[in-house]
Structure 1
Amino acid sequence: MISSKQWIPWVKQAQAGDQAAFTELVRHFQAEGYRAAWLWAGNGAEDVLQEAFLTCWQKLPQLRQARAFRSWFYQILRRTALAQLDKERREIPQDEMDPFLSPPAEPPSGRDSDRLQAALALLPVAQRDACTLYYYAGFSIKEIAAMTQVPQATVKSRLFHARKKLRALLLSDNPPD
Structure 2
Amino acid sequence: MTGPPAAVPHRVTGRRVEVTEPLRLGAGGQRTVLAVQFLRECQSLGLRVSWTAADGETPYDIGLLRHLPPPAQVSDEPGELKEWRAGYAYGMLYHRRGPDFVAVMDRREPGTAVRLTLDHPDLLSAFHTLLNPTPLHELDPGPREAAGLLAAERLALVTDGWAVALPPRISRWPVPCTGI
**TM-score, normalization: structure 2?**
0.25
**Structure having the larger proportion of residues in helix:** 1
**Structure having the larger proportion of residues in strand:** 2
Q: Larger radius of gyration, structure 1 or 2?
A: 1
